[in-house]
Chain A
Amino acid sequence: MFGVLTADRVAYRYSGNSMGLEPVSIGLQAGDALLVAGPSGCGKSTLARCLTGMIPHLYRGQLTGNVSLCGLDSRSTPLWRLSECAGFVFQNPAAQLVASSVEDEILFGLENLGLARAEMRTRLDEALVRFGLDTLRARSPLTLSGGEQQKLVLAATLARHPPILVMDEPLSMLDSAAAEMLVNDLASVAQAGTAIVICEHRFEPLATLPGLRTLRVAPPHEPSSQAGAVVAAPLSAVPSFSLVVEDLGVSLGQCRVLNELAFQVPGGQIMAIVGRNGVGKTTLLRALAGLQRHDGSVLVNGQRPDLAMVFQNPDLQFFNPTVREEILYGISEPDLERYQGLLQILGLSAYAQTPPLLLSEGEKKRVALAIALMRGPRHGVLLDEPSLGQDAAHKACLMRLARAVADSGRSVIMTTHDLSLAAQADRMALLGEAGFLADGRPGEVLRDSSAWSRSGLKVAPWILAAQAEDALCN
């Protein structure tokens, strides 16, 4: 019996580099759910492209093996025909929006199916109601939150009624509430008979998906990260201090994003700020870094603090021809010992002469961190979603480095959706629309169910269990 999706020893090599996918075989029937797991760089996104026909139609590389979608061979069938069999949702929903309103975003895919107008109208209304988007139909997709954008892309894809749905890291940009809603949506999609393939690092939230099978993909080469390396302090020690934030408020246009926030962060502390998509976590970091106009004050000993910021998207910063030049740019007398130490700690030693834009997303994030630390900020670093796109080994490496920075007496303040990462900090603050809803040791904050309920988020039981286990071990 033929499945809706068959991949027979599919492997791929991108032209010009060694990245790609080792041979993988998959067979899926209607209603099956498959999780594709593996470390960064193992080829999960490449596999997703092979399973949707993007490879070989849009990429020039070496594809071996065969992929069959609803009985159609992916090589010989036009891409528009394959797209009718397999819907594809990418990691970043904002990057796949092609229309100026929610309604037109859904209609774009329906128009390409060549349906009668009455049928388009029916499917449009169904999709809007099913995903709770009916009140947002005239809104610009760019004004929606990350969770709403993810829902919209899913609605636009599923309105086409594809027998197969392939998703590449759909949870990475979502807070825990949006992630839970997405998993519930996927359960109903699978129940309706759609075969689902999910490529994802954060597999714990998917555990509730009925009948989920897991496929582990091996990397084509040894991972470059030295995640197990012993971390020496990359920065010299600084005298003790306390970062004092008083009456911090930020308005963006007509919207008041932060209001009268007051807190202190002593040097040597790792603080994780969590909260819903769009609640103002990044805005808070930008205000602390002095990049955002704000009310109130952010001071250390009565002066503006010297904090380095690592942005969510490292591509915003790269323009030098090599990693070495990128990290040392603008530093008149660089401390080469610190530079070498950072390369070693961050697993970048082999890439010193490589153009940063050719690195993987995880490696780029580590270069951005090296740029920030090379400056030797006196009071600490601000990390915006540092675990985005990082596998477990890289996250462990990141936390060890954060600990080394904190051990030098500096503060580390990070924003994250990843509660398992936040649970490893010294302090966790749950940001809501009215300010911090809870602030304290991660174990205490995670168990404050009333605060989580007010924030509209939920803590998955596996996070609480893992945190309790860690506390016991420590």
Chain B
Amino acid sequence: MQLIGRVRRVHEPIRLVVSPLRRTDPRTRLLLSVSASLAVMLPLERTLIFMGLYTLLLAWARLLPSAGRQIWRLRWVLIVLFAFDAIFVDLTLAVTVTLRIVLLASVFALFVGTTTPEELRLALERLGVPYRYAFSLSLAFLSFDLLRDEWRAIQEAQMARGAWAPRVRLRDLALSDLLALTVPAIVLTTRRAWALTEAAAARGFDAPHRRAYRELKMGRVDGLVIAITAIVVGLLLFL
């Protein structure tokens, strides 16, 4: 096997996880995710308690593997930040910052792994966000896979012409390396955004009489999840 570079291509989009949380209303999942994100404001001891409870939730929702993968992707950021804070500030801050990033990454995994872009759009609409903004956010959500694939394609194309090389040492990085990757990325993203604008307009986007096909409905599981979330957040914030 021979390889001149290490640009890995994955054509599969991010998949939904088979999880009991899929049975809940997307508004419940949104509330749960926002509430969990707010835990980054807690002091270290309470963050640790919350992380314990949150890990139980992820285990119940069968989301531990996907959260683990998300955190693994950030391993170098976490290691560098931890080392920097531990050396230049103190160990408590290093642990706190690392835990907060781990928490945010696992919240991202929870939401992305259980919610489709259409569900996000509907949830936002029902929460009073105007349709055009809800639609734009759902498109951005949908574009994660495309952006990931395009970034890899750019790396590969620049590597093929010798304009960029993977695994360069930080001190070897030149402005031209950054330009070689970022200029095409900006151009492609802008073009994609424009193409999607045209595509949406061609199918009647912004029509005043729009009617959603799917309806959202809260059930008993939603009530239970919301109540537990409210109690946990309340206890951690105010006790």
| Whole-angstrom CA separation of A79 from B197 in the bound complex | 12
> Which residues of chain B are within 8 angstroms of A372 by Cβ–Cβ distance?
161
- Chain B 75-109 interface mask (CB, 8 Å, partner A; 1/0): 00000000000000000000000000000000000
One of B21-29, B49-57, B201-209 at the interface: B201-209
Per the 8 Å Cβ criterion, residues 177-235 of B in contact with A are 179-180, 182-184, 187-188, 191-192, 195-213
> Which residues of chain B are within 8 angstroms of A83 by Cβ–Cβ distance?
201-204, 207
Could you tell me if A109 and B203 are in contact, using CB atoms closer than 8 angstroms?
A: yes
| Whole-angstrom CA separation of A139 from B188 in the bound complex | 25
Could you tell me if B184 and A318 are in contact, using CB atoms closer than 8 angstroms?
A: yes
Answer whether A375 and B162 are a contact pair too, CB < 8 Å, given A100-B142, A109-B203, A286-B156: yes
Of the candidates B179, B196, B212, the one whose C-beta lies within 8 Å of that of A111 is: B212
Could you tell me if B159 and A291 are in contact, using CB atoms closer than 8 angstroms?
A: yes
> Which residues of chain B are within 8 angstroms of A375 by Cβ–Cβ distance?
161-162
Per the 8 Å Cβ criterion, residues 5-37 of A in contact with B are none
Answer whether A318 and B195 are a contact pair too, CB < 8 Å, given A80-B206, A80-B207, A114-B211: no
Per the 8 Å Cβ criterion, residues 115-161 of B in contact with A are 116-118, 139, 142, 145-146, 153-154, 156-161
Could you tell me if B5 and A291 are in contact, using CB atoms closer than 8 angstroms?
A: yes
| Whole-angstrom CA separation of A371 from B9 in the bound complex | 24
Greatest chain A CB density within 10 A among B157, B179, B204, B209 is at B204
Could you tell me if A316 and B11 are in contact, using CB atoms closer than 8 angstroms?
A: no
* A44 at the binding interface (Cβ < 8 Å): no
Could you tell me if B202 and A54 are in contact, using CB atoms closer than 8 angstroms?
A: yes
Of the candidates A52, A290, A317, the one whose C-beta lies within 8 Å of that of B3 is: A290
Per the 8 Å Cβ criterion, residues 146-176 of A in contact with B are 156-157, 160
Q: Give the A-B pair count, Cβ closer than 8 A.
A: 178
Could you tell me if A316 and B195 are in contact, using CB atoms closer than 8 angstroms?
A: no
> Which residues of chain B are within 8 angstroms of A120 by Cβ–Cβ distance?
213
Could you tell me if A96 and B184 are in contact, using CB atoms closer than 8 angstroms?
A: no
Could you tell me if B184 and A90 are in contact, using CB atoms closer than 8 angstroms?
A: no
Could you tell me if B211 and A316 are in contact, using CB atoms closer than 8 angstroms?
A: no
* A397 at the binding interface (Cβ < 8 Å): no
* B239 at the binding interface (Cβ < 8 Å): no
Could you tell me if A95 and B160 are in contact, using CB atoms closer than 8 angstroms?
A: no
Binding site for A on B (CB under 8 A): 1-5, 7-13, 116-118, 139, 142, 145-146, 153-154, 156-163, 176, 179-180, 182-184, 187-188, 191-192, 195-213
Binding site for B on A (CB under 8 A): 52, 54, 57-58, 79-81, 83-84, 87-88, 90, 92, 95-101, 104, 107-117, 120-121, 140, 142-143, 156-157, 160, 252-253, 286, 289-295, 297-298, 304, 308-309, 311, 313, 315-319, 329-330, 357, 371-372, 375
A sample of 18 more A-B contacts (CB under 8 A), given A98-B203, A99-B142, A289-B4, is: A57-B201, A58-B198, A90-B195, A95-B192, A98-B139, A100-B117, A100-B118, A100-B142, A111-B213, A113-B204, A142-B11, A293-B3, A313-B157, A315-B184, A316-B188, A318-B184, A372-B161, A375-B161
